[in-house]
């Protein structure tokens, strides 16, 4: 690698000092078009003001961190601290485990999955997760040039990696457009099990982005971002980040890519088609699913559990988490179902929508009355209307979440409830992408 000049490092330092306004202006973080600007933004994110209070680490936390490594405090992870502070214990893990693919393909490893996480985070403009993936790739020995190429120079990678990158970007930004052809395009390079693992991972990364990004969690100070950039990548404009093509460094709103919501009649027609469709990936048998979830088995096992049961390392904790999301915590259970409906409607996730409708029916919202949730003027208390609007925005446009979006929720809900609201939306982002990418048929 060519050595950087001192001037190059001075430019990076200057950019960092002018990085996006992290002190709390009510606007979403800027989107950095180029590699040097992204590094400066990552450095600036260390000064991010979290949207829920995050106290300084306690003496006990600092001592535990020092015991794991001298000087750099690797054990201090602000995301984990935020989750433990505000979420019930059953939801703290987030279902986010390292994707341990068993497929023999050489790409099926930690560095490969971290590259996918990098692409997801860049697409959602989640600065906190972006910084963590940069650090993880560096620790895995991935060269700076390789990381820089993830921003759009995909011809530097193997055909298998390029296929995975294309699928990851599409499932992140336009999950409603995933088709049989998108899954089939992966099959020359990956087994069905590896594809399932990939979908679980990418769906989980999208969930994590919506948690850390919407809460503006600050980057840990020990991470190093202001590294030299090769001349080839200094002015390369990202083709992954959600950039507005008409404005430098501004986020692009995703609704332009999504049509207005379908009418009730169109929804019924889509659900009818989804009821008889063939899944794009294999599902476990009832017995296999029961063995994976052990005492928490559902009988008959729904298709989503049977899908995850074939990848038990990542599937089992995800099954447990999704079930816990319906019951654990203080948040009103009907509001949880409303969030699931709103997310599934906007993601056109028909399997998830059918489950959300069944949940809402238990609260008396049946027939066409459920479609009142699609309206911004839903007849409910002001806090509930704010949750609905926030759920729509975080589902479709995570890069556009502002300080005021969270602060408005805090006027009606406790901080623990706000955290649970955000968690419910993140879990919906996972479930929508999982079930629709796999093309699951509706359960009876």
Q: What is the pLDDT of residues 34-76, one digit of tens each?
A: 999 999 999 999 999 999 999 988 888 888 777 765 444 457 8
pLDDT of residue 249: 64
- Name residues of the chain where pLDDT drops below 70: 1-27, 68-74, 94-108, 245-251, 253-257, 295-297, 377-379
Q: Which residue has the tokens 């996480």?
A: 117
Strand partners for 251 = 243
Burial of 7 (0-12, 13-18, 19+ CB in 10 A): exposed
Q: Find, among 26, 23, 28, the residue nearest to 44 by Cα.
A: 23
* Cα 42 to Cα 47: distance, rounded to the nearest angstrom: 10
Query: Does residue 215 contact residue 333 with C-beta atoms inside 8 Å?
Result: no
H or E element: which one contains 170?
A: helix 159-173
pLDDT of residue 199: 97
Query: Does residue 122 contact residue 240 with C-beta atoms inside 8 Å?
Result: yes
Tokens of 213: 């990004």
Cα→Cα distances 139→123, 135, 144, 399, 422, Å: 22, 6, 11, 27, 30
Name the class of domain 259-437.
mainly alpha
pLDDT of residue 253: 65
* Cα 8 to Cα 439: distance, rounded to the nearest angstrom: 48
pLDDT of residue 412: 96
Q: Find, among 444, 437, 443, the residue nearest to 202 by Cα.
A: 437
Residues 96-138 have pLDDT tens digits of 544 444 444 444 489 999 999 999 999 999 999 999 999 999 9
pLDDT of residue 244: 77
* pTM of the predicted model over 0.85: yes
């Amino acid at each position: 690698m060519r050595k950087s000049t001192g001037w190059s490092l001075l430019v990076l330092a200057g950019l960092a000092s002018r990085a996006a306004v992290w002190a709390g202006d009510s606007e979403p973080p800027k989107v950095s078009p180029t590699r040097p600007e992204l590094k400066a933004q990552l450095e600036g994110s260390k000064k991010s003001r979290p949207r829920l209070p995050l106290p300084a680490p306690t003496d006990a936390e600092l001592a535990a961190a020092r015991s794991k490594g001298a000087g750099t405090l690797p054990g201090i992870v602000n995301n984990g601290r935020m989750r433990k502070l505000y979420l019930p214990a059953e939801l703290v893990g987030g279902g986010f485990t390292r994707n341990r693919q068993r497929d023999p393909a050489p790409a099926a490893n930690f560095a490969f999955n971290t590259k996918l996480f990098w692409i997801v985070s860049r697409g959602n403009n989640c600065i906190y997760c972006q910084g963590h993936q940069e650090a993880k790739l560096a620790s895995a020995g991935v060269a700076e040039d390789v990381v820089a190429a993830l921003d759009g120079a995909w011809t530097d990678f193997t055909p298998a990696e390029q296929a995975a990158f294309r699928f990851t970007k599409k499932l992140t930004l336009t999950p409603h457009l995933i088709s049989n052809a998108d899954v089939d395009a992966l099959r020359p390079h990956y087994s069905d099990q590896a594809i399932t693992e990939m979908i679980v991972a990418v769906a989980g990364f999208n969930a994590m982005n919506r948690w850390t990004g919407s809460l503006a969690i600050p980057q840990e100070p020990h991470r190093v971002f202001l590294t030299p950039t090769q001349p080839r990548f200094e002015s390369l404009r990202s083709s992954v980040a959600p950039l507005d093509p008409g404005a430098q460094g501004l986020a692009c709103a995703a609704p332009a890519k999504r049509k207005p919501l379908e009418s009730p009649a169109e929804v019924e027609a889509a659900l009818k088609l989804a009821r008889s469709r063939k899944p794009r990936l294999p599902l476990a048998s009832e017995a296999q699913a029961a063995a994976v979830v052990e005492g928490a088995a559902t009988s008959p096992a729904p298709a989503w559990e049977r899908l995850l049961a074939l990848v038990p390392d990542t599937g089992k904790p995800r099954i447990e988490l999704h079930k816990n999301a319906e019951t654990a915590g203080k948040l009103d259970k009907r509001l949880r179902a409303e969030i699931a409906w709103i997310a599934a409607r906007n993601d056109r996730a028909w399997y998830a929508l059918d489950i959300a409708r069944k949940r809402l029916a238990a609260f008396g919202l049946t027939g066409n009355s459920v479609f009142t949730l699609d309206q911004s003027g839903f007849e409910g208390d002001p806090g509930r209307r704010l949750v609905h609007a926030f759920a729509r925005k975080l589902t479709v446009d995570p890069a556009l979440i502002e300080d005021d979006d969270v602060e408005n929720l805090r006027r009606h809900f406790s901080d623990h409830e706000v955290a649970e609201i955000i968690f419910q939306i993140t879990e919906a982002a996972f479930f929508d992408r999982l079930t629709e990418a796999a093309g699951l048929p509706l359960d009876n």
